[in-house]
Amino acid sequence: MVPQNYTHVSIILLLLCIAAICCAGCSQTSKVNTFTEDDNGITVTMGMSDTAVVTLESNPTTGYEWKASTTGNLVITDEKFVSDNVPGMVGEGGKQQWTLAANAPGTYEFTAVYERPWEETEADKTYQLTFIFT
């Protein structure tokens, strides 16, 4: 006859194994997709747990800046400027970077316009990506 303590331990271990198997099927691996100026105009399909990082060359010391916008449920979760960090260089450029994620499945656009905000002329550069989140 098996002692009662061993029976309880066996049942607990069995329940923990079942829970672990169930949870393993629930998790999704997220992927970070990176995009640069070379990807301008493309359409990309991504999973709902994926994020996109768009990196574009920029030099704010010239007065130019990227003005970014999104459509629908595509949101900018982070935006930053990464300097080239050239020692002793005045007026150095760098990269403007946006991290994007979708709140719901669908087709959305990310658009960025490189311009001087005070000038009323056409943008010098435009950048556009279409995302299909499934």
45-101 tens-digit pLDDT:
999 999 999 999 999 888 899 999 999 999 999 999 998 887 777 778 899 999 999
Cβ density class 77-103: b for 16+ within 10 Å, e for less: eeeeeeeeeeeeeeeebbbbbbebbbe
pLDDT at 14 over 80: no
Domains in the chain and their CATH numbers? 29-133 (2.60.40.2020)
What's the pLDDT score for residue 46?
97
Q: Of the ranges 9-18, 76-85, 117-126, which is most confident?
A: 76-85
Verdict on whether the full-model pTM lies above 0.85: no
Characterize the bridge pairing of strands 51-58 and 43-46. unpaired
Strand order in the sheet with 51-58: 32-35, 51-58, 94-102, 74-83
Question: 76 or 124: whose pLDDT is higher?
Answer: 76
Question: DSSP readout, 105-117?
Answer: SEEEEEEEEEE-T
Model pLDDT for residues 29-41, shown as the tens digit of each residue: 789 999 999 999 9
Report the distance separating Cα 133 and Cα 81, nearest Å. 26
What's the pLDDT score for residue 92?
80
What's the pLDDT score for residue 29?
79
